[in-house]
Each structure stands twice: as structure tokens, then as C-alpha cells.
Amino acid sequence: MTNSFNHLFKNKILPNIRVFLTEIYSNLLSTQRKMSFFDNFFNDTGVSKSSQKSRTFIGKVTPIYQKFVINPEVSNGISYAGILLPFSLKFRRLVKRPILSFFANHIINYPTPINLTYAWSFGFLAGISLLIQIFTGLVLSMHYSPNIDLAFSSVEHIMRNVNYGWWFRYTHANGASMFFIVVYAHILRGLYYGSYMAPRQLLWCSGVVILLLMMATAFMGYVLPWGQMSFWGATVITKMFSVIPFVGERIVEWLWGGFTVNGATLKRFYTMHFVLPFVIAGFVLLHLALLHKDGSNNPLGVDDAEMIPFYPYYFLKDIHALFVYLLIFSTLVHFYPNYLGHPVNYIPADSMRTPAHIVPEWYFLPYYAILRSIPDKVGGVVCMFGSILILFTVPYTNFSMIRSAHFRPIYKVFFWIFVADFFLLMWIGQMPMRNSYILLGRYATAYYFIFFIFLIPVSGYIETLLLTHKIENKN
């Protein structure tokens, strides 16, 4: 029995140990080379602490590697590697199958730039938010009644009588807010690091389409509780289509299903609110396909960044970001469920009583402020929709040779002013209609459009001139 075990150990287990240790050792050496590269490229003061720790660890591992691989005859120990490696080999054979190989190539082995930060986790969190909204929405749709006489009562029935109905409703309502938070952060990250520049123009445009579909879905969902703010919000927003020449009134009547917001409007909005999330999911798959076609951008904005597999490095990073996201999300749902809502919407819809101050959800406030700041009705509607559609032009109006705002000092200043301007518009959108707020809204609206129409192309042109002039002087 001893001889058979020795034969098994020498011919089966020990070779697997050697292969396993060789793979680990080569990965360690590769990591050390990457650290040395970044030390030489970024660090002027010498070797970083992480690089020193890595070298110390490799110094401890090297004798073990030499004992098991280079001089195997002096090895008398047994490692769990001989047990784990067969499972690793079976997994590798398994992922070679057609369907699993697709996920392996686009998720596990997807080449990702080595220097991505947590700002790149917002896209992953947006996908998680979409899944949460679809799941909770399906549960709520089982108990909701799209009837003007029963809609408000069915929401209260969900809150009071359905098991954990309150949790699903608050998760769905606050999930929309969390969805827009991570999507706005995702867009701002793209603007800062130049993720819209060639060759990723179509990737950016597909993201703007997703944003438009999200807004349509969120607006229709806000109408479904059939409270005061839901009813009058639907009335105000849908009447904006009447400014379209010749066919505007007919479009409004088609949206309403009559001559006013009524039961037909509610049923149509409920149907579209149910269908559009799956359309968004389809565009998300297109967005991911375009991303994997052109590859991810990176904080340096270079195309030749060193790549590492998505799994396990960025998988674990995204999981950490997910836990932080869920912590904030659960705190909002369980402790402040109505913080981002409006108390007037807890009053049943009444077509005979107009609320004193009609405001949309917070994620629509910047565009609502733009609408109110323009004195002309047609001009206000055009500017409101134009403030979103103008995002399509960004990839084609930036003339800078540099992507990342880290290396664009002029654009960086304009960008952070734009971020402050966006939050200013959000604050103005919830304030009452007074002359001081209207005037401030006009200034903020002017900068919003100046940033996209004038500052992005001009700053890019100036920075390109300065860069080419510096290169010519060096030559």
C-alpha cells in the first residue's frame, strides 16, 4: 500500500504541484514586473511600499518554488495544490463550450486596463440597479390595478396588506433614484475622462439612448400611484407636445386617449412602463457589445495601457462597490423611504384642485429649471429636450487630442463649473417661481448650453494648439 501511494504521489500529485506552483510563481513575477514598471513611470522617489512588500514575498516564495519544481527529489511534503489543480483543469475545459466560452471571454477573461479606479464601477452598479427595478416592478405589477378609481387604493393595498409589499414598493421607488444617481455619475465620469472620444462615439450615443429611455420609463412610473403630483405632472409634461407644429394637439390627444388625462392615459402609461425596462435591457446589451468591441477607456486616456483579466481583479473591486451601494440603498429604504419623494403625492388625484407648487422627481429638476427659465413656451420645451439631446453632439465637437481631464487644465476648470451648474439647476427646479430664481436659472441655463456648444470645442482646440506647439519646440 505504501508503494502504491508513493507511485501515486510521484506520478500524479507531484507533477500537478509543480505545474500549480509554476503558474503561481510566474504570476507573481509578472505582478512584480508591472509594479516595477509603474514605479519607474510614475514614482520619482524610488520604489513604492507595495512593490517592496511584493519583492519580500517573492523572496520567501522562491525557495519553496525551487524545492518543489527545480529540485523535486528533495521534496517530502504534500500540498493541496495537487487536489485543487484537477478542478481548475476541468473548469478550463468546461468554459471552452460555446455558450460558456462567450461568458468566459466577455466577463472572466475580458482584458481590462490595469489602472481603472472605482469610477468605473458605476456602470456595473447601473446594471444592478436595472435588475433590481425589473424584479421589484414585476412583483408590484401583480398587485397593482391600472384603473383611475383603484390605482391609488391598490398602492395602499400593496403597502398595508401584501406581505413585504411596503419593502418592494419603497425599494422600487428609491431604486429609481439610486439608478439615476449611478447613471449621472457614470455620465460625468465619461465627460471627465473623455470616454466619448474616438473610437467610442457609438458607445457614448448608445448610453444617451439608454438615458432617454430611462427618463421616459421613470416619468410614466411616477404617474402610476395616481396621487396629486402624479396627475398634474402627467398633465403638464404631456401638454408640452402641443408645441409641435401641425400635429402637436393630435399627439397630446393620442397620449391622453381623450381630451384630458383619464383612465386610458393611466393604462397606456402602465403598459409602456412595464415594457420599456426590457427595451432598456436590450440597449444595455448593445452598450456592452460596443464596449467590448472598442475596449474600456482608462484614467490616463491612452490606448496602449497594460491589460489584466476582469476576473478576479475588477470582479472583486465591483463587488466591494456593490456592498457600499447596497449599504446606502438599504439605509435609504429602511430609514428614509420618503426622503426623496413628495408628500403631496400621498393625496389622491383630484382634477379640480391644482397643487400650489408642481415639481417633478429630483432627477428631472435640472431640466424642469431649464424649462421654467425660458419665458417662451416653445423655446422652453425646445431647450428642455435640447439639454438632453445635446449629449449626442459631444463626441463630434471635441477637438482635443487628449482624452483625460487630468492632462487638460483648461477643460478641467470648465467641467467642474458645469458640475456645480448642474446641481444649481437641480436646486432651482424645486424652488417657487420668483424673479430671483428665474434670473438665476437663466444664467445657469446659459452656462449649461455654453459648456457643450462653445467651451468643449474651444478648450479642446486651444489645448491641441498648445500641445502641438510644445511638440514642435522640442523637435
Catalytic-labelled residue, pool 51, 121, 129, 318: 318
Cell 474616438, located at residue:
198
- Show the cell assigned to 464: 491641441
Is the model more confident about 125 or about 305?
Answer: 125
Percent of all residues in the chain with a pLDDT value above 90, rounded to a whole number: 65
Lowest mean pLDDT among 71-85, 110-124, 277-291, 333-347: 71-85
In the chain, the N- to C-terminal Cα span, in Å, equals 77
Whether residue 303 lies in the annotated active site: no
pLDDT of residue 106: 73
| Residues 156, 165: Cα–Cα separation, whole Å | 9
Cβ–Cβ < 8 Å for 93, 87: no
Q: Report CA Rg, the chain.
A: 29
Catalytic-labelled residue, pool 361, 387, 400, 459: 361
- H or E element: which one contains 112? strand 111-113
Whether residue 26 lies in the annotated active site: no
- pLDDT tens column, 18-73: 555 555 555 555 555 444 444 443 344 444 444 454 455 555 555 554 444 444 44
Nearest of 187, 177, 179 to residue 130 by alpha carbon: 179
DSSP string of 377-417? HHHHHHHHHHHHHGGGGHHHH---S---GGG-HHHHHHHHH
Q: Which residue type, as a one-letter code, is found at position 452?
A: F
CB-based contacts of 282, cutoff 8 Å, min separation 6: none
With b meaning 16 or more CB within 10 Å and e meaning fewer, what string describes 317-349? Answer: bbeebeeebeeebeebbeeebeebbbebbeebb
Catalytic-labelled residue, pool 317, 342, 387, 400: 317
- pLDDT tens column, 70-128: 444 444 444 444 444 444 555 556 556 666 666 777 777 889 999 999 999 999 999 99
- pLDDT tens column, 134-187: 999 999 999 999 999 999 999 999 999 999 999 999 999 999 999 999 999 999
- pLDDT tens column, 360-401: 999 999 999 999 999 998 999 999 999 999 999 999 999 898
Residues 248-264 have a mean pLDDT of 92
Domains of the chain are 2-94 (no CATH), 107-353 (1.20.810.10), 359-475 (1.10.287.980)
Nearest of 117, 135, 127 to residue 182 by alpha carbon: 127
Whether residue 157 lies in the annotated active site: no
Whether residue 406 lies in the annotated active site: no
Catalytic-labelled residue, pool 292, 294, 306, 412: 292
pLDDT of residue 109: 80
Whether residue 421 lies in the annotated active site: no
Note if the pTM is more than 0.85.
no
Name 308's bridge partners. Answer: 112
- pLDDT tens column, 403-412: 999 999 999 9
Is the model more confident about 73 or about 278?
Answer: 278
pLDDT of residue 13: 61
DSSP string of 183-251? HHHHHHHHHHHTTTSTT-HHHHHHHHHHHHHHHHHHHHHHHTT-BHHHHHHHHHHHGGGGGSTTTHHHH
Catalytic-labelled residue, pool 296, 373, 387, 459: 296
Nearest of 184, 186, 179 to residue 119 by alpha carbon: 186
Computed over every residue of the chain, the mean pLDDT equals 84
